[in-house]
Structure formats: C-alpha cells, structure tokens
Amino acid sequence: MRLTRYFLPVLKENPAEAQIVSHRYMLRAGMIKQQAAGIYSWLPMGFKVLKRLEQIVHEEQIRAGHIPLLMPTLQPADLWRESGRYDAYGPEMLRFKDRHDREMLYGPTNEEMITDIFRSHVESYKSLPLTLYHIQWKFRDEVRPRFGVMRGREFLMKDGYSFDLTKEDALHAYNRHMVSYLRTYERMGLTAIPMRADSGPIGGDNTHEFLVLAKTGESEVFYDAKVPELKLGDRTVDYDNRDEVASICKEFTTLYARTDETHDEALFNQIPEERRCVGRGIEVGQIFYFGTKYSEPMGATVTTPDGAKVPVEMGSHGIGVSRLIGALIEANHDEKGIIWPEGVTPFHVGLVNLKQGDVATDAACEALYAALKAKGLDPLYDDREERAGAKFATMDLIGLPWRITVGPRGLANGLVELTSRRSGESEEMTPEAAVARIVEIYAGI
C-alpha cells in the first residue's frame, strides 16, 4: 500500500476525550472514529489489525478442534425466557420490539441461541464431544462507556460453546480452551495470565479470566512474580491428550494469580514476600464451565449408551477481539506512539522515501516495494511529498515494527537504513539485505 492512496487520517494533537493511551493512539493513528458513546467505526488500519487478530483466533480455535459457525446479532427474547436470564440479565441488554410486536434483543452473548441450535440437531452421545464457536459483534449497554474500545458498548467477540456427555469431558473442554487461549495470546505478543475469577451473569462454578498487566487495567490483580514468566513457547500440544492438556493447565494455574473478586489474603501471604505482586489488569478473555445451567431448562439432552436421556454438560469461552487491540497498545507503546508486535502489525514494514521526486531514490523505493511484495510481505510505502520529520513521526505513531529508510546519501554508497521501532536501533545495509532480513523476521510468525 502507498500512503498517497491510503486512507490514514492521523491527528497531530491528543483528542480531549481520550483518557488512556490506547484510546488516544487509536484516534490519533486513524484507526477508529467514534460514532456514538461506546460505538466506533473501524477505519482501514484499525480494521486491518482487527482482521489479523481475528485470523489468529480462528487458527488457534481450529487447531484445538473447534468448529466455526455464525449466529445473528439479534435474538428472540423467548429463548432467554426459557433459560431464565431475560429478566435477570439487567439493563445492559438492549431490548426492543420488531414491527410485528415480537420482543427481541441485541445479543450480549449466545448461550441460549447455541443451546437451541444444539437441541434442534443433536440427539445422541455419539455426536459428542462438540465445540462450536463464532466471532461476532455484541452489544452491552454500558452505563459509562469509556476508554475507547476497552469499554465500548459494541464490540467484536469470539464466543465458543462446548457440549459434552460427562463433567469429566466438559472439564477437558475447559482445559483445552485454556491452552488454546494461552497460545492465541502468545502469538499476538501478549502475556495474558489466567486468573481465578467470578462467573458473573454467565454462571457456573469454574471460571478463569485472562488478564494483561497494565497500569490502566480495570481490575486489581494479585499474583506471584513467577507467573508472567510462564510461556508455552513453540511446544507441540496434542489437544486430545487429556493428561497433557491438564498438565499444562496445572502449570499455568498452580501459582497464585487472582482478581480482587476472588483474592484470598491468607493464600497470598504464603508467597515469599519478594514475589508478591499487586497491579492492575485488562481482561481479554474468560472461560466458564457451568454444567447443565442452560441445557436442563432448555431441554438440550442426548441419549446415553444405555438409552437414558440426560442434559449435556456445557461451557462457554470468550475472547474480546476488539478489546484486545486496546490491550495490545496499552502493553506496547512509548511517548511517540504504538509499537506493534510482529504477529499483529497492520503492515510488516514501513518504507520511507526521504526525497520524493529524486529519480534514484524513487527508483530504489519502487524496487524495494516490489521486492517486499514479491516475498509475500505487506509494506506501507510513504511516498508523500512531506519533510522527513513528518514521515518519521507518522511511522512512529502508527507503530510498524520495522522501517526501511531510503535517501540519496545512503544510496550513494548502495545502502539503506533498517530501523527497529521497539529498540530504536538502526543498521545500514544493502536493499537486498534489508529485504532478506524482513523476510527472516516474519518467517516463523
């Protein structure tokens, strides 16, 4: 993409309404535009990051054996009355009537609808285990939407639902989700800690939230200093191996890590004092096991091997995809702007022409641009007739992890400059070497 042909409405000044870093930089970098309180249009670069995150979530869900579908944003109120949640959910649910006077709602979550789909098509234990998921827009009418996409009213969410014959099977599905989420967040360059949490309006006995440590987090968190050091890395996981999956979950949940809602001061004080950490965290996902909370009242049953009919054991598992972008920026920025991890960057590399209109410089940039694209990379070429300082400021603000700078002085020696956005370090090399380095960096991502 060339900047002269792209829609990137960057702002030089900090918007007055933006209270936290991610909101400020998303507005300034032209990623979003507020249309109403807590409701945003996703402009091209913001939408590009959103789709990158969505793709990672899809890949890791499918790797874990989960099956994608798509449910509508609007739901009939009758389904929620069956489960008993219609009146209990609270004013966050947007309720309305259609032209035929039928009561409807804009879905804040999909437990009822997925249970209805299941009971309509599955009758035997032979169809289990089954996990279905989708990535869809949700709406919760927050009293005080704030912090940009971190606490919006409309948001993009991956919500998955597991159906199993026994509690033991359902807890394996729970563990499988925990491991798949750990891998998902690591691919995005995030350290998301699973913490014992409260189930809230979803219900259930077992639940963990995944929180990214950040000063602007809404939740107070208490954890062992060793917890953020835990990594899945590149280990191979057999999601059908119950012992292996359970062992990984034990590894990531044995050390103390809890939100303020479930904090136990006595347990916390058993940690060596130098390892006791108190901070704040941003919730980016949550997994629940709730047994027959929905299947029993809604009649979602299967026939067992001995011919009996039993309600299925269920769980639900969510990742806040749009919220993740805010969390990523909160965890990856400096005073100049965003610093995208390589796994989620909207463009792989920025290409800066220091002297637009100079025949040799233009030719070198065009050659680099073509070479990068030929390698399957997605460069952003700043071909504007702007001064160098303005070009560098734009690149720093939008946060591409790598920048290739091309100017007459370097080209006189056959060199360009490759700069890391995170470290700020630059290295001169030939254009061919710069392309090869970028290819190498993204080869394993």
DSSP state letters, 99-117:
TT--EEEE-S--HHHHHHH
Token readout for 380 is: 């952003």
Per-residue pLDDT tens over the stretch 77-87: 999 999 999 99
Give me the pLDDT at residue 236, please. 93
Q: How confident is the model at residue 203 (pLDDT cuts 50, 70, 90)?
A: very low
**pLDDT by residue (tens digit) across 111-131?**
999 999 999 999 999 999 999
73, 106 Cβ separation under 8 angstroms:
yes
Q: Provide the pLDDT for residue 215.
A: 83
Determine the Cα–Cα distance for residues 380 and 369; give it in Å rounded to an integer: 8
Q: What percent of the chain has pLDDT over 70?
A: 98
C-alpha span between 138 and 202 (Å, rounded) = 15
Q: What average pLDDT does range 200-211 have in this prediction?
A: 69
pLDDT level of residue 324 (50, 70, 90 thresholds): very high
Q: Give the single-character DSSP code of 312.
A: P
- Sign, CA dihedral 395-400-402-404, equals negative
pLDDT of residue 299: 95
- Closest to 300 in 3D by CA, of 79, 107, 109: 79
pLDDT-based confidence at residue 381 (cuts at 50, 70, 90): very high
H/E segment holding residue 86: none
E strand residue ranges, 295-429 = 301-303, 309-311, 313-320, 333-334, 337-338, 349-353, 379-382, 402-406, 416-420, 426-429
- Digit-coded pLDDT (tens) for 119-168: 999 999 999 999 999 999 999 998 888 889 988 999 999 999 999 999 99
* Dihedral sign for Cα atoms in the order 216, 218, 222, 224: negative
| Residue 199 pLDDT exceeds 60 | no
- Given a contact cutoff of 8 angstroms between Cβ atoms, the answer to whether 310 and 38 are in contact is no
What 8-state DSSP symbol labels residue 256? -
Pair of tokens at residue 361:
């410089």
Contact by Cβ (8 Å): 3, 380: yes
* pLDDT tens, residue by residue, 20-32: 999 999 999 999 9
Please give the average per-residue pLDDT across 319-339, as a whole number. 95
Burial of 45 (0-12, 13-18, 19+ CB in 10 A): buried
For 225-243, what is each residue's pLDDT tens digit? 999 999 999 899 999 999 9
Cis omega (within 30 of 0) for bond into 129: yes
For residue 392, give Cα distances in angstroms to 277, 297, 389, 396, 400.
Answer: 38, 60, 5, 6, 11
pLDDT at 200 over 60: no
Q: Summarize pLDDT for 240-298 with one digit per residue, the tens.
A: 999 999 999 999 999 999 988 889 999 999 999 999 999 999 999 999 999 999 999 99
Q: Which of 410, 409, 400, 363 is nearest to 383 (CA)?
A: 363
Domains in the chain and their CATH numbers?
3-338 (3.30.930.10), 349-442 (3.40.50.800)
Rounded to whole angstroms, what are the CA distances from 256 to 195, 226, 407?
8, 9, 53
d(CA 330, CA 282): 9
Question: Taking residues 53-77, what's their average pLDDT?
Answer: 97
Q: How does residue 205 score in pLDDT terms, banded at 50, 70 and 90?
A: low
